[in-house]
Amino acid sequence: MKDLFWTENGTGKPVVLLHGGFLDHTMWNDQISALSDRYRVIAYDARGHGRSANATGPYRLTDDLAALLRHLGTGPAVLVGVSMGAGLAVDTALEHPELVSALVATGAGTSEPYFEDPWTRQAMTAWHAAMAAGDLEGSIEGFLTVGLGPYRDLTELDPEIPRRLRAMARATMSKHTADEPNHVILLKDTWHRIREIKVPVLAIHGAADSPDHVAMAERLATTVVNGRSVTIDGAAHYPNMERPDTYNKLLEDFLTSL
C-alpha cells in the first residue's frame, strides 16, 4: 500500500470516507473530527490525487480501495462518498460486497455519470476544454463552476469553501499533464447492476446541485433494495463542506440505525 496515503482515527465500526474527483481526503476534515470519537474513521487519497502516487499502469479505483481495506483488516465497512467517491462506493459494493456493510452517496449515483441538463453540459464542456488545453487555472475554475451548482455564484458562499476546493484541486491537477495517459479502468453496466446491492444505502444531496447530479442520486436510492434519500438546503455538490453540521447529523443518524 506504499502508493496510497491514508489517515486513520478512532476505534469502533469502520467508516471509510471517499473524496470527490480532483480533491483529497482533507475535504472530510469536518467529518473526521465529528466521527472519530465513536468510529474507526479511515480517509485516503485515491491514486493520482492528493498525497497518493500517480498511476503507472492500468488500475481500478475499487480494487485500490479493496486492497486498502484488506490491508487494514476492517472487515465490512460503511463507505461514505461524494461525487467520484460515491461512484467508488457503489463500485465496491458491486465488485467487493464482502467489504461493504452500508453506503452513503452524495452528488452521484454510480461511477457512470450521464449529463442531460443543458447547464451541466455547457459547464462540463467548458471545464474539459480547459483541461485539454492544459489551462490549470481555467480547469480549476471550471471544476468550481460544476461543483458549486447552477443556482448561485461564488460571492454567495463562505469564501473558505472555494478556497479549500481550489487548494485541493490545484494540488491534484498539478500532479498531471494534459497529454498523460489515463490508466483508470472504468466499470461497465453499473446502472443495470445496482439491484445487486443489498446493504442499506443513503443518498444525501445538496438542493443547489445540478439537476443531473440530484437525479442520479435519487435514481440510486430508489433502485437499490434498501435505499432512501435526503436533501440539504443551501448546499450544492459538496454538502459535507458547505453544511457540515447538517450533513454530520444525517450521517450519524444513519450510522446509529445500522
Confidence of residue 154 (pLDDT cuts 50, 70, 90): confident
Confidence of residue 2 (pLDDT cuts 50, 70, 90): confident
For domain 5-115+181-257, the CATH superfamily is Alpha/Beta hydrolase fold, catalytic domain (3.40.50.1820)
Confidence of residue 178 (pLDDT cuts 50, 70, 90): confident
Instruction: With beta carbons less than 8 A apart as the criterion, state whether 83 and 203 touch.
Output: no
Give the Cα separation of 103 and 80 in Å (integer). Answer: 6
Can you list the pairs that 159-162 forms with residues at least 24 positions away whose Cβ atoms lie under 8 Å?
161/238, 161/241, 161/242
Quickly tell me which residue has 494540488 as its cell: 171
Separation of CA 31 from chain center:
13
Mean pLDDT of 196-202: 97
The reported pLDDT for the residue numbered 149 is 87
DSSP state of 174: T
Mean pLDDT of 113-131: 94
Sheet of 227-232, strand order: 5-9, 40-45, 14-18, 77-82, 100-106, 201-206, 227-232
Mean pLDDT of 177-197: 94
The reported pLDDT for the residue numbered 202 is 98
Give, for 160, the enclosing helix (H) or strand (E).
helix 160-173
Instruction: With beta carbons less than 8 A apart as the criterion, state whether 178 and 133 touch.
Output: yes
Domain ranges of the chain: 5-115+181-257, 118-173
DSSP assignment string, 97-117: GGGEEEEEEES-SSSS----S
Q: What is the mean pLDDT of the chain?
A: 95
Closest CA relative to residue 144, chosen from 28, 17, 45, 23: 23
User: Does the pLDDT at position 190 exceed 80?
Assistant: yes
Residue range 43-98, pLDDT digits in tens: 999 999 999 999 999 999 999 999 999 999 999 999 999 999 999 999 999 999 99
The reported pLDDT for the residue numbered 39 is 98
Amino acid sitting at position 144: L
Rg, the chain, Cα only: 17
Confidence of residue 30 (pLDDT cuts 50, 70, 90): very high
211-223 and 118-132 helices, crossing angle to 10°: 110
